[in-house]
Amino acid sequence: MPDRRSIPHLLALTVLLSACTRESSNLEKLAEQDQPKSETSAGKAPTPVQPSDPKDEPKLDGDVPDIPPSELPLDSDGLPIPALEGAATLLTPGAEDRRVELRFALADEARYRITTIGMLKLPLFDKPVGFAREEDLRLGDCQGEAAGRSCLLTHSYRNFEAEPPAGQPLEADEAVVSEFETSHRIDSSGLRLSETAIKGTGNSPAVQVLAQVHRFYCLRLPSEPVGVGATWRDVCRMRLGGQIVTREVVWRLAKLEDSDEGTRAELEFAGRVRKVDTEAGVRSGEIKGALLFWVDAGEPHLLRERVVFNLDAERGLSTATDLRYQFAKLGTGDELIRTDGKPFDGSPVVLNDPRTVPAGETRDAEHPAATKGKGKPK
């Protein structure tokens, strides 16, 4: 999540953080629950309370591959512009003994709740900054079947919380876009088929750039049956830390597992990320990630990724953001269920829940004690 836009901003934030001696933040404690001590002490990304068996947590293993330059057209900053049509470039088809079709089901009127736990590691500071976000997605206006299916995907922000003292700048980044609803069409491979439409009041440059953003977290599947070991390329853009990040990655089908609950795939991706800073120009970094995917249901389950940006190679300054996305669906009674329709083994992490008073016009009306003195709610 948010890494600041220049080294001076980062160093100022680092000084502010290091001036405060404190115990682990609430979000850090939340993230460390159910995490093996060996992983935490080794500096690996902490994980939040598990709605599934902790042993199923996807790992961010392997090296980032050397990806040749994209053949896509470039924008004015020299970054590839994600395609709005065509299949993902298949590099290798994988094992021949078993091929599977990986598709998003795109169920009409489906409603998703995505909870993200993030840890931002700043230079010169040992402890990461914790934050959490809730977002809602819904599908509608679906057309076609199987590989030819597409739907309108609509995204809205629900909640955001960040730990002090870094919480204010992180929440300020979120507040710029938190009131806006965005939408674009998506096909069964995860391809964004249209520019992202923006609904809301305001027309600042920070809002306008949302027209480039992929609202299904840049998840991309191949358009033909593949086996374990298959690889494919994708270029996509997401908003991270108040900026648009261009991701050029190679996906890999790492595992297929069969159980009484059906077939589950583990997909890995790795590659480079780039963003444009007003002061420093194009910054480069690396990304690694892993996705657990219900093959039979055609639904994402759990996504982890790590994004590292180099700030100053000579001084060894960089930022690292660890993100864990838990996908859930809203059932008929608005209860949270797994995306494959089954109940969670445990309660998924939620923010500001349960609500003990009727919903009001603002979060102040819903949670007056929690928001008192914090200014205008998002």
Same domain? For 201 and 288 the reply is yes
Please indicate, yes or no, if residue 181 is contained in any of the structural domains.
yes
For 81, the token pair is: 């512009």
Its pTM stands at: 0.80
Give the dihedral sign, CA 376/120/353/137. Answer: positive
Q: Measuring CA to CA, which residue among 80, 101, 342 is closest to residue 221?
A: 101
Tokens 């007056």 belong to residue: 368
Same domain? For 316 and 363 the reply is no
pLDDT recorded at residue 58: 79
For 320, the token pair is: 């690292």
Please indicate, yes or no, if residue 352 is contained in any of the structural domains.
yes
Please indicate, yes or no, if residue 1 is contained in any of the structural domains.
no
Digit-by-digit pLDDT tens for the chain (378 residues) are: 444 333 333 333 333 333 333 334 444 444 444 333 333 333 333 333 343 444 567 777 767 778 888 899 999 999 999 999 999 999 999 999 999 999 999 999 999 999 999 999 888 767 788 999 999 999 999 999 999 999 999 999 999 999 887 777 889 999 999 999 999 999 999 999 999 999 998 888 889 999 999 999 999 999 999 999 999 999 999 999 889 999 999 999 999 999 998 999 999 999 999 999 877 789 999 999 999 999 999 999 999 999 999 888 777 788 999 999 999 999 988 999 999 999 988 766 666 543 333 333 333 333 333 333 444 333
Same domain? For 70 and 171 the reply is yes
Q: Write the CA distances from 3 to 26, 250, 277, 321, 347, integer angstroms.
A: 20, 24, 11, 8, 30
Helix (H, G, I), strand (E, B) or coil at 301: strand
Same domain? For 135 and 275 the reply is yes
Same domain? For 78 and 151 the reply is yes
The residue range of the domain holding 355 is 348-378
Please indicate, yes or no, if residue 318 is contained in any of the structural domains.
yes
pLDDT recorded at residue 350: 66
Please indicate, yes or no, if residue 13 is contained in any of the structural domains.
yes
Same domain? For 333 and 378 the reply is no
pLDDT recorded at residue 55: 52
Q: Which amino acid appears at position 348 of this protein? A: P
Same domain? For 317 and 373 the reply is no
Q: Write the CA distances from 210 to 77, 147, 214, 242, integer angstroms.
A: 17, 27, 9, 10
Q: Measuring CA to CA, which residue among 306, 278, 274 is closest to residue 290?
A: 306
Q: Is 330 exposed, middle or buried (0-12, 13-18, 19+ CB in 10 A)?
A: middle
pLDDT recorded at residue 128: 84
- Cβ–Cβ contacts within 10 Å for residue 211, how many? 15
Tell me, rounded to whole angstroms, the distance of Cα 81 from its chain centroid.
Answer: 20
DSSP states of 150-173: EEEEEEEEEEEEE-TTTHHHHHHH
Same domain? For 362 and 224 the reply is no
Same domain? For 353 and 235 the reply is no
Number of domains in the chain: 2
Please indicate, yes or no, if residue 89 is contained in any of the structural domains.
yes
Same domain? For 103 and 120 the reply is yes
Same domain? For 359 and 274 the reply is no
Same domain? For 362 and 317 the reply is no
Please indicate, yes or no, if residue 84 is contained in any of the structural domains.
yes
Please indicate, yes or no, if residue 120 is contained in any of the structural domains.
yes
pLDDT recorded at residue 351: 66
Between CA 87 and CA 117 the distance in angstroms is 31
